[in-house]
Amino acid sequence: MRKSMEVKAVFFDIDGTLVNDSRTVLKSTEAAIKSLKEQGILVGLATGRGPFFVKPFMEQLDLDFAVTYNGQYIFSKDRVISATPIDKQSLRDLIAYSKKYRKEISFGTAEAMQGSKIMTFGMSSFSQWASQLIPKKMARTVSRGFNSVIGKALPQQEKELLQLIQEPIYQVLILADPAESQKIEADFPHLKFTRSSPYAADIINQDMSKLEGIRRVGKEYGFDINQVMAFGDSDNDLEMLSGVGLSIAMGNGTSSVKKVAKHTTSSNSQDGIHRALEHFGILASEKVFVSSDHHFNKVKTFHGVMDECTQEEPIAWTPEDARHRADFKLEELVEFLRAASRSEAEFDQSISRMHQALDKAATKVRSKREAEVSLVGQVDALIDTLYFTYGSFVLMGVDPERIFDIVHQANMGKIFPDGKAHFDLVTHKILKPDDWEEKYAPEPAIKRELERQIQAYAQRNKNQDK
């Protein structure tokens, strides 16, 4: 597919996006990032995680920059681009609040996330792995029980927290579900609350976000926010996905994310990043797009050999070429009527009815719209004919899967030993090799397949009667 915009930079969220459920980067994602960089497209991260967590990904994937702590701390391979700590008074107020209401709290520095023992454990690789083993229905109960035990055994010390905030703090995490964090937010209107977890809220400066972080990177590297493609899955990605030029929601993302994104791809464990880049024609290695419809791909292979090229950019048929395609389809419809006629007289009657139906259809279509060459109109009509064809098979009780393969093999059998299609010099119709009837004629194979389906139906009925 063609690109609808010039993409100069691509940003990935980490959790639930760049990494799969096993906390690793898929091989397909690594290949996609390599392809992006070979094209000269800048690649970075936009995450609620801190720089200490992000640096291994930067090195592993050779990334250009990272927007961390939801925009509060931004760096490249060799320097800090922007660092925006939270003011000390706000931090002291948050500590006082956490003490008063017994809320676990942690502080993000450039080097670590420190404070709550519960939250430190919760962000560990062991905790992340263990949480996958707990059924979702029990997650909240297990979490509260664990927090209660750890909270009593290792209570937060106000003195230690006040000591921590002597150095720059770029993000605060407070253990609170969405309803609780709304109440806390009301007491701190000058700060911004966002979240990538159902258990904790991220607190940053009011004027910061992943989107603002990306905008700042763009000023440094010479790209506009509309030239950015971004991937995300959580609610702290909403502002980013709403503001960039091309936004992609992961299949495992929240409903809110999918609502604002321009496109939803497959999940973080099902090659979602690679598929989205492929879908928009951004992968340099994908000169020929591949559909998820394997029937389409087989026909495309046939035309690739026949025409010695394939059409990669969506275009409308010209009037002359559209007539040729319609002629092919009309001949097959006449064959369909012939195969549904018990006599020549009945066949003639069917053909007469077809002429009447054609005139009636022309009158109906004329009344709908003015004549014009329209890609949308052509695709709409063709997909309806495809749908009607499947509907006909449904009403016949015939499974077309193997029959399609038989026809595809028959068509590929028209390719001559030199690997090319040969055409009649006068009629321009495709010629068939001398042994085509013997090896590839589809009718005998179709007959055998239909007999198999009829026998399978009889056997199923027989088994049900037992």
As a dihedral over the C-alpha atoms of residue 189, residue 192, residue 195, residue 200, rounded to 10 degrees, the angle is -60
Report in angstroms the alpha-carbon separations of 328 from 333, 335, 349, 350: 9, 11, 21, 18
Whether residue 270 contacts residue 17, with contact meaning beta carbons closer than 8 Å, is answered with: no
Give the pLDDT confidence of 287-316 residue by residue, as tens digits. 667 777 888 988 988 888 777 778 888 999
pLDDT for res 303: 85
Give the tokens for residue 35.
């392809």
pTM, to two decimals: 0.62
pLDDT for res 466: 67
pLDDT for res 208: 95
Give the pLDDT confidence of 165-193 residue by residue, as tens digits. 999 999 999 998 888 888 999 999 999 99
pLDDT for res 428: 73
pLDDT for res 130: 41
The residues of the chain scoring below 70 in pLDDT are: 1-5, 117-155, 284-288, 466
User: Any idea how long the chain is?
Assistant: 466
pLDDT for res 417: 80
Could you give all domains of the chain from N- to C-terminal order, each with its CATH number? 9-81+209-280 (3.40.50.1000), 88-205 (3.30.1240.10), 290-316+374-465 (1.10.3420.10)
pLDDT for res 284: 56
pLDDT for res 307: 78
- C-alpha span between 167 and 111 (Å, rounded): 11
- C-alpha span between 27 and 188 (Å, rounded): 43
Those residues whose C-beta lies under 8 Å from the C-beta of residue 415, and which sit 6 or more positions away, are: 305, 306, 421
pLDDT for res 155: 58
pLDDT for res 458: 92
- C-alpha span between 265 and 294 (Å, rounded): 18
